[in-house]
Amino acid sequence: MKLKIAVLPGDGIGPEVTNVALDVVKAVCRRFGHTLDYATAIAGAGAIDAVGSPYPEETHQLCLDSQAVLFGAIGSPKYDNNPTSKVRPEQGLLAMRKKLGLYANIRPIMTFPKLFHKSPLKEEVIRNADFVCIRELTGGMYFGRPQGRSEDGTQAYDTCMYSRDEITRIVNLAYEFASRRRNKVTVVDKANILATSRLWREVAQEIAGNHPEIATDYLFVDNAAMKLIQSPRDFDVIVTENTFGDILTDEAAVISGSLGMLPSASIGTFTSVYEPIHGSYPQAAGKDVANPLAAVLSASMMFDYSFQLQEEAAMVKASVEKVIEEGVVTMDIVQDGCRAYRTSEVGTRLVEIIERF
């Protein structure tokens, strides 16, 4: 099988963790006899420095021409809170989502027994926690208009806007995921306050009626935030709007013990993008210390969702579980008193494991 992917390393630690993920993809392709066709393009702060745009047209075209996109991270302190910057790296991420039609961000939350000690929650709370957060990506306050400030600068406003079609699309996807998992959907909104949330709940209730075999419950976002910490094992598939999903998925990330462990997929109309959730972490850039496992698990999701290669996806996930069991991990998840391995060393070991499976 021929796999055609675009590789966007991005900023900060993005290039380092993406290189490891790409090496793992290459190893899997060799193992299964697939032909890998890939090309690299710029995005983020590096792209602004090079061509003045965080998501250049050439990069966009490469993504359109590819079956999947392996993405690193975007962001640089050079552009953070800089009033003279007319364009920011994060605008590239929003542009990519909009132009590629990336309407659903899928974040699996999983736990690893060897990493229970790294979670701020008790082992008995998180053991066997396994759920998926599905966040709508193209609507809500991040894209709503009008948006701006008053002429005197003392007031600012954002508009949260959703259409019935946007909500229907993402909620249907949640039920599709639940049907392949444990048959439970949790719809998160703020329907007691927000008009957009009332539309969300109205549409979700209509769709729930078409799936009597799947249990559905509804939580206000503040209650959901509490229950994620109190009883994460109660969740199977969570679906919510853009802003709520952004916040709740970062909250849920602590369950696993490290942001460096959590992958994501952004499902799109034209192609899909696979990326770790940890961001660019510029303080660690170039030091060969960043945890590459979230990027590698994102590659596993790519094999599964974009190419329907479940055996290959499972092999990648098994290799991650193996390095964790062996203790060949970076400093963020290393056991006390044990040696911390470098990013590149973890990558080398992952490839060795795949070659020997």
Catalytic center residues:
142, 190, 222, 246, 250
Q: Which residues of 210-222 are buried (b: 16+ CB within 10 A; e: fewer)?
A: ebeebebebbbbe
Nearest in space to 15 (alpha carbons), one of 66, 76, 102: 76
Nearest in space to 9 (alpha carbons), one of 330, 295, 344: 295
Q: Would you call 76 helix, strand, or coil by DSSP?
A: coil
Q: Would you call 303 helix, strand, or coil by DSSP?
A: helix
Classify the C-alpha dihedral 273-277-279-283 as positive or negative. Answer: negative
Using CA atoms, how far apart are residues 65 and 223, in angstroms rounded to an integer? 42
Nearest in space to 238 (alpha carbons), one of 226, 228, 250: 228
Using CA atoms, how far apart are residues 207 and 241, in angstroms rounded to an integer? 16
The values of phi and psi at residue 223, to 5°, are: -70, -40
Amino acid at 344: S
HSE at residue 260, side-chain half, CA atoms within 13 A, is 24
The values of phi and psi at residue 274, to 5°, are: -120, 125
